Chains A and B, each alone.
Chain A
Amino acid sequence: MSTLLMASELWHADGLWIIAIGALTNTACALVGCFLVLRRMSMMGDALSHSVLAGLAVAFAMTQSYSIVPLFIGAIAAGLLTTFLTQTLHQYARVPSDASMGVVFTSMFALGVIIIKKFVTGVHFDIACVYEGALGLTPFFTREIAGREIPLAVLTIAPVLLLNIGVLSLLWKEWKVSSFDPALATTMGFSATLLHYVLMALVALTTVASFEAVGSILVVAMLIVPAATAHQLSDRLAPMVIVAAAVAVLSSFLGYVIAEYRNTNYAAMMTVVAGALYALAVVFSPRHGLLTTLWKNIQLSLRVVKEDLLAMLYRVEELEAAQPLTPAAAREALGGGWLPLVAAKMLQRRGRIRLENNAVQLTKKGRTAARKLVRSHRLWETYLVEYLGLPLDHIHEPAHRVEHFIDERIRGKLEEELDASAGDPHGREIPE
């Protein structure tokens, strides 16, 4: 990879502009996207990115020009209208919220198409361009600023990014509380509805500013994917927003490099990279990742099997005419498979059990540990009979499950409640 990355044809000025424009756009989307994800409104990004077309079309038709300010105003108006209609339909016509969103954004999108076809002359409406954007072409449309040629796309998206950062810092605590607990925010005087509309206006604006450069696929993806990735990786709001921005920038960079080598569409590749980063986060996230969960589950299963083995050996010792337990029989009794093997190895290494004449036996240390487990088990059985009134043949299984989770504290409480010296309900001794 390092030799690939050093290849000189990759790092021409246009390439750097493409990365920069991608990064600016993606970051602008990711910042507002965090709050969409946290409010469980991810699909609202998709909806707005379509319905703004109606606003753009009206702005086009009225001004017959591409000037940016009317377009922005049109987009914000369309965004607010979508939000309003979606909520109103949901609230007053009692349409389910996903259906009302689906109805509103598709209608407005279609309306936008009709207005463009009917009233806007001289516009080439290219659907592929709407989806893919024209990121590769952005470096060629420039304006001279202070003696330097700056791509127009930068001049469009940079102010929007700054606006997003500005509003985010200004309304940080307001958005935080109203996203977490809208009712509380409202009782404090921070109207959750008002804050919702401000967010939606920003989403609409960001969408439109991003459209031309990166197309709708990347916009919808960048509103959600970096934020969802960051949600996997962070437990605090500020780090989440920063991680989301970092994922957005990283996707632009890697997306550009891979697209160059594969000679394909930049925006689509950036989206694919973002999706891949999300998948990585889902699998490898240190706290909630699949791998961590799997590891924790294995650890737990292993502990249960180890404890079951110890308790089993203790019970064998208790029997008067004890048949020694062979490794094969022990493995069989613990359900077979690889877990008992690993468990036995670990217990052996820690000096809890030993193997003598093809018989598994407890060491002194092992016996102490086993005694505690059996004590927990029998205390729990006693508790079930005395306090829950369960019959004798119903108590072994639940106690078998619970014994692994009874710590010193709970054992102490059971000892206070019960008379351990009287033995368990089956008449066996409760070991000290």
Chain B
Amino acid sequence: MSVPAVEIHDMTVAYQRRPVLWDIDLQVPEGKLVGIVGPNGAGKTTLIKAALGLTPLASGKVEIYGKPYNEQRHLVGYVPQRESVDWDFPVSVRDVVLMGTYGKLGWFRRPGKSERETADRCLEQVGMLPLAKRQIRQLSGGQQQRVFLARALAEDAQVYFLDEPFAGVDAATESAIVELMQTLRSDGKTVFVVHHDLQTVRDYFDHVILLNMRLIACGPVETTFTNDNLQKTYGGRLTILDEAAEAMRQGDSIR
């Protein structure tokens, strides 16, 4: 079997010592669209942030194509939640997409003609080229999300992590995003998507990660996205897990 695109090994993530993700262990092969599904507070965003090195790991490791994330940074693209940035920031749509090329440029080098062409090509791909000169405040929610996707395309990564790209977008944008994910898959990229709408999981994804503070299941949609597993994911929190987490936060031993 070839090297998995992403391997998370025995990863625990804690805020203030309180674990929010317990012992996550999973492998995802290359070229899959992966839905990350679970109730509110299940740790979906935390899983992404930990995989990207934005949140420190309490234990375990994350490997991208068999090497630690730090060495493989350039292979990874990220689309944060839309509300995480200030849309009043004085930049144009093209500026934002151009930011996607910064990682490959590295420190101090300025984007040039070829980067601008990349940015325009990516804007074209999401149908936003006509709005390239707009200030980002003037965009609708769906348009903002497309700009973020264009920026991710400009990163030219192998593995993408998208945090709730479907939140608050119009139907046209939703189908544009789905189409884009399929294009990425056919180029051999792996895409992780935090997703809320259980109805569409089967249509959109090949793989699914079911999460609720711990990993419920990870695998192909047909075999993993079962009623039984959904029951486990959404059927209430595990009270003992909660209590243990709280005890760790307070620094007591678990009795």
Cβ of A184 < 8 Å from any Cβ of B? yes
Inter-subunit contact B99/A189 (CB<8 Å): no
A12-20, A167-175, A317-325 - the one binding chain B: A167-175
Cβ–Cβ < 8 Å partners of A94 in chain B:
16
A80 to B84, CA, bound (A): 26
In the assembled complex, which residues on chain A have CB atoms less than 8 Å from the CB atom of B103?
Answer: 187-189
Whether the Cβ atoms of A170 and B108 lie closer than 8 Å is yes
Query: B65 at the A/B interface (Cβ < 8 Å)?
Result: no
Q: Cβ of A236 < 8 Å from any Cβ of B?
A: yes
Beyond A170-B108, A186-B54, whether A240 also contacts B102 by CB under 8 A is no
Interface string of B84-104 (1 = CB under 8 A from A): 111001111001100100110
A144 near B: Cβ within 8 Å?
A: no
> Which residues in B have their C-beta under 8 angstroms from that of A186?
53-54
Q: B135 near A173 (CB under 8 angstroms)?
A: no
Complex: how many Å from CA A354 to CA B203?
59
A180 to B98 alpha-carbon distance, docked (Å): 13
Q: Is the CB of B131 closer than 8 A to any CB of chain A?
A: no
Contact of B110 with A by CB under 8 A:
yes
Q: Which of B5-13, B72-80, B233-241 contacts A (4 or more CB under 8 A)?
A: B72-80
The answer to whether B54 and A183 have CB atoms under 8 Å apart is: yes
Residue contact A177 to B102, C-beta cutoff 8 Å:
yes
Mask: chain B, 53-77; 1 = CB below 8 Å from A; 0 = not = 1100000000000000000010010
Q: In whole angstroms, what is the CA distance A188 to B78 when docked?
A: 9
B16, B49, B85, B91: the one within 8 Å of A237 (CB): B91
A-B pair number, CB within 8 angstroms = 76
| CB-nearest residue of chain A to B73 | A189
**What are the residues of chain A within 8 A of B49 when measuring CB–CB?**
183
Chain B contacts with A in 172-196, Cβ cutoff 8 A: none
Bound together, the chains give a CA A172 to CA B105 distance in angstroms of 13
Q: A181, A185, A231, A236 — which one has the most chain B CB atoms within 10 A of its CB?
A: A181
Q: Does A411 contact B (CB under 8 A)?
A: no
**Chain A CB within 10 Å — which of B90, B96, B102 has the most?**
B90
Q: Is the CB of B99 within 8 A of A38?
A: no
Tell yes or no: B111 within 8 A of A by CB. yes
Let me know if B251 is at the binding interface, CB within 8 A: no
The answer to whether A188 and B73 have CB atoms under 8 Å apart is yes
B52 contacts partner chain A, Cβ-Cβ < 8 Å: yes
Please give me the residue from chain A that is nearest to B106 by CB atom. Answer: A189
User: What is the minimal beta-carbon distance from A387 to any residue of chain B, in angstroms?
Assistant: 15
User: With A and B bound together, what is the CA distance between A234 and B76 in angstroms?
Assistant: 33
Contact A180–B89 (Cβ < 8 Å): yes
For A183, list chain B residues within 8 Å (CB): 49, 52, 54, 78, 80, 84
Complex interface: chain A residues within 8 A of B16 (CB): 94
A179 at the interface (CB under 8 A from B): yes
* CB-based contact A180/B96 at 8 Å: yes
Q: Given A170-B108, A187-B73, A188-B73, is A181 in contact with B85 using a C-beta cutoff of 8 Å?
A: yes
Interface size on A, residues (CB 8 A): 28
Q: A176-B99, A187-B54, A189-B103 are in contact. Are A236 and B80 (CB under 8 A)?
A: no
| Cα distance, A170 to B89, chains bound together (Å) | 21
Set B54, B76, B110, B155: member contacting A172, Cβ < 8 A: B110
- Across the interface, name the chain A residue whose C-beta is closest to B104: A188
Q: Is A40 an interface residue (CB 8 A)?
A: yes
CA distance A180 to B102 in the complex (A): 13
Please determine whether B90 and A231 come into contact, CB atoms closer than 8 angstroms: yes
Interface size class of B (residues with CB under 8 A): 20 to 34
Quick check: is A397 within 8 A (CB to CB) of the other chain? no
CB distance from A343 to the nearest CB of B (A): 28
Q: Once the chains bind, are B91 and A236 in contact (CB under 8 Å)?
A: yes
Which one of B49, B78, B85, B91 has the highest number of Cβ atoms from chain A below 10 Å of its Cβ?
B91
Known: A188-B103, A189-B103. Contact between A236 and B90, CB under 8 A? yes
Q: Which of A94, A170, A179, A183 has the most CB of B within 10 A?
A: A183
A415 to chain B, nearest CB (A): 19
B135 cross-chain contacts in A, Cβ below 8 A? 235-236
Taking a contact as CB atoms closer than 8 A, the residue among A40, A173, A239 that contacts B86 in the complex is: A40
In the complex, chain A residues whose CB is within 8 Å of the CB of B53: 186-187
User: Interface 1/0s, chain A 209-244, versus B by CB < 8 A?
Assistant: 000000000000000000000010011110110000
Chain B contacts with A in 19-67, Cβ cutoff 8 A:
49, 52-54
Output the least CB separation between B152 and chain A (Å).
9
Partner pick for B89 among A38, A171, A188, CB 8 A cutoff: A38
Give Cα distance in the complex from A187 to B72, angstroms.
10
Q: Does A131 contact B (CB under 8 A)?
A: no
Counting CB contacts under 8 A, is A190 at the interface? yes
Interfacial chain A residues near B151, Cβ < 8 Å: 184
A180 contacts which of B54, B99, B155 (Cβ < 8 Å)? B99
- Cβ contacts under 8 Å, A171 to chain B: 108
Q: Are A237 and B54 in contact (CB under 8 A)?
A: no
Option from A181, A185, A187, A235 in Cβ contact (under 8 Å) with B76: A187
Looking at the assembled complex, report how far the CB atom of B249 sits from the nearest CB atom of chain A, in whole angstroms: 11
Known pairs A188-B155, A231-B90, A236-B90; list 9 more (Cβ under 8 Å): A173-B102, A173-B111, A177-B102, A180-B91, A181-B85, A183-B80, A186-B54, A234-B90, A235-B92
Would you list 28 pairs from A and B whose C-beta atoms are within 8 A, ordered by A residue? A171-B108, A172-B110, A174-B107, A176-B99, A180-B96, A180-B99, A181-B80, A181-B84, A181-B85, A181-B99, A183-B78, A183-B80, A183-B84, A184-B80, A185-B102, A187-B54, A187-B73, A187-B76, A188-B103, A188-B155, A189-B103, A189-B106, A190-B102, A235-B90, A236-B92, A236-B95, A239-B90, A240-B90
B residues neighboring A (CB under 8 Å): 16, 49, 52-54, 73, 76, 78, 80, 84-86, 89-92, 95-96, 99, 102-103, 105-108, 110-111, 135, 151, 155
Interface of A with B (CB < 8 Å)? Answer: 38, 40, 94, 170-174, 176-177, 179-181, 183-190, 231, 234-237, 239-240
Top 4 closest A-B pairs, CB basis? A188-B103, A235-B135, A187-B78, A177-B99
